[in-house]
């Protein structure tokens, strides 16, 4: 099982939308997928139509009380299981910070599940912060996938995230790689969005996925019904984009495409 942390410390860039719909796209292609919600707001949990965390959330895994395998719930989607979030996660930072192994709690909790080979991929929907939960996700992960909104300010703070990734490599996870960057909320009608896409691809080159995720009101509607975009608007542009992203993700995985860091020219600019 490969663990992919879907992360960006900036909020509102499409992390949860990408986590949920990429998970659904990969499951539809026959991959065995586990979606883990690490955000106390529980948006990925509600988007999957899960009313409550009956087995508990990853709070119990992060505090060492339960292994991740004991927290998994089935979903209505074939090949897709989930570990939901709840409000307990909001207080986990204080508890975990006191543990000697505070950086590796999640990796330890996933160890038996990873060894079982029950799933092909685990997608971690990370909170928009650089706290202990994010640190644990990066220590547990094999790769990090970064959703980037198609606006100039959305790239703000990327150098900080790269510093955190490098520190994680130095201290606890030397093999952590970057799966790539996914450009979200793209509107082809605006010159600004087109310019951002051009600049990002110029700077980051092959790190950036070819698939563009469009801006669509359907993405905002789907979670309120507890649905993925494939269930809510199966013939729309959003569903087509995430189907394409899933296919591109698998092609890149098969080709072994992952990166230590983006080109330094951007981080220094």
84-118 pLDDT, tens digit each: 998 889 888 888 878 778 899 999 999 999 999 99
Looking at residue 266, what is its pLDDT?
Answer: 46
- Are residues 61 and 34 in contact, defined by beta-carbon separation less than 8 angstroms? no
Domain total in the chain: 1
Task: From 2, 92, 80, 94, select the one nearest 35 (Cα to Cα).
Answer: 80
Looking at residue 110, what is its pLDDT?
Answer: 94
For residues 138-152, average pLDDT: 93
Buried b (16+ CB within 10 A) or exposed e, 195-209: ebbeebbebbeebbb
Instruction: Quote the pTM value.
Output: 0.93
Paired residues of 116 in beta bridges: none
Residues of the chain with pLDDT > 70: what percent? 96
For residues 149-160, average pLDDT: 78
For residue 245, what is the domain's CATH number?
A: 3.40.50.300
Quick: pLDDT tens for 1-39. 999 999 998 888 999 999 999 999 999 999 999 999 999
Domain that holds residue 190: 2-267
């Amino acid at each position: 099982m490969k663990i992919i942390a879907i992360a960006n410390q900036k909020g509102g860039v499409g992390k949860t939308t990408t986590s949920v719909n990429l998970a659904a796209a990969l499951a539809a292609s026959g991959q065995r997928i586990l979606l883990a919600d690490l955000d106390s707001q529980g948006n990925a949990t509600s988007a999957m139509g899960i009313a409550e965390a009956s087995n508990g959330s990853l709070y119990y895994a992060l505090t060492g009380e339960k292994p991740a395998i004991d927290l998994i719930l089935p979903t209505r989607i074939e090949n897709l299981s989930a570990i939901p979030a709840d409000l307990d996660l909001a207080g986990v930072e204080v508890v975990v910070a006191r543990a000697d192994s505070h950086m590796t709690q999640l990796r330890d909790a996933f160890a038996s599940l990873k060894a079982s080979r029950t799933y092909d991929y685990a997608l971690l929907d990370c909170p928009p912060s650089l706290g202990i939960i994010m640190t644990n996700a990066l220590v547990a992960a094999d790769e990090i996938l970064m959703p980037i909104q198609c606006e100039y300010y959305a790239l703000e703070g990327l150098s900080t995230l790269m510093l955190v990734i490098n520190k994680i490599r130095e201290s606890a996870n030397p093999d952590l790689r970057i799966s790539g960057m996914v450009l979200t909320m793209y509107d082809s009608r605006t010159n600004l969005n087109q310019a951002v896409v051009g600049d990002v691809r110029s700077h980051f080159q092959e790190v950036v996925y070819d698939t563009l995720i469009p801006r669509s009101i359907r993405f905002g509607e789907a979670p309120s019904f507890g649905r993925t975009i494939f269930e809510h608007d199966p013939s729309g542009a959003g569903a087509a984009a995430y189907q394409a992203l899933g296919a591109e993700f698998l092609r890149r995985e098969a080709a072994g495409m992952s990166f230590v860091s983006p080109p330094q020219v951007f981080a220094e600019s």
